[in-house]
Structure 1
Amino acid sequence: MNINDLTDEEVLEIAHPLWDDLIKYSNEGDYGNFIKKFSYGLLLGLNEVELGKQFAHSELARNLVEERDCLGLIRRGEHVTALYRVRSQAREGEWLGRMVLGYENGDVKIFAASIF
């Protein structure tokens, strides 16, 4: 199945809870739950030591506002990118959150996630 076969509303019904979990587990520094919906390829490419340092030392990654502001979707190939406005409880300003979704073995997985 291709995630691009879903309507925007159907994609957002999947994306929002996944994004909410990323924010929650980032704030908690819960690495195990943060990566639980990552695709196999994304997991292989992670540097667990560097990600662990980010959780431990990043003021931004540990103080994200849970309120979500979805800016839209970008569709490409077999993936959909959900874009979010991100705010921090500790730092002034706004960031762009990006989460790439697609199917892996019949389940929707996260193929990339970042905050710029």
Structure 2
Amino acid sequence: MNIIDKTDEEILEIAHPMWDDLVKYSNEGKYGKFIKKFSYDLMLGLNEVEMGKQFAHSELSRNLVEERDYLGIIRRGQHVTVLYRVRSKVREGEWLGRMVLGYENGEVKIFAASIF
């Protein structure tokens, strides 16, 4: 199964709740819940100590506005990238949120997630 074969609407039905969970658990600093939908390879590449430090000390990652503006989907290979406009509760300005989704063992997983 290839996620790029799904319609935009089908992808967004999956992506929006996953993104909302990332924001919620980032704000709450709940690392275990934050990574629960990550692909195996992404989890292998994470340094749990560094992620914990980011959760504890990053003003941006602990103060994201829950409302998001969907910007678009990019399809490439076996993955889709879903883009969002993100804001902070404590810092002025806007950031680009990016979440890469694909299938792993028949289930949609997060292969990358970041805020620029």
| TM-score category of the 2 structures, normalised to the smaller one | over 0.9
User: Taking structure 1 as the reference length, what is the TM-score of the superposition?
Assistant: 0.99
Aligned to 1:42: 42
What is the count of residue pairs matched by the alignment? 116
Aligned to 2:20: 20
Q: CA deviation at 1:62?
A: 0.3
Q: CA deviation at 1:90?
A: 0.6
Cα shift readout 1:77-114 (whole Å, capped 9, x = no counterpart): 00000000000001000000000000000000000000
User: Taking structure 2 as the reference length, what is the TM-score of the superposition?
Assistant: 0.99
| Paired letter, 1:10 | E
Aligned to 2:87: 87
Aligned to 1:33: 33
Distance (Å, rounded) in 2 between the aligned partners of 1:54 and 1:84: 21
SS of residue in 2 equivalent to 1:91:
coil
1:1-116 pair list within 5 angstroms: 1-116=1-116
| Paired letter, 2:34 | F
RMSD: 0.3
Q: CA deviation at 1:24?
A: 0.1
Question: Unmatched 5+ residue regions in structure 2?
Answer: none
Identity of aligned residues (%): 84
| Paired letter, 2:94 | E
Question: Unmatched 5+ residue regions in structure 1?
Answer: none
Distance (Å, rounded) in 2 between the aligned partners of 1:73 and 1:4: 10
| Paired letter, 1:42 | L
Distance (Å, rounded) in 2 between the aligned partners of 1:47 and 1:14: 26
Distance (Å, rounded) in 2 between the aligned partners of 1:48 and 1:85: 26
Q: CA deviation at 1:68?
A: 1.2
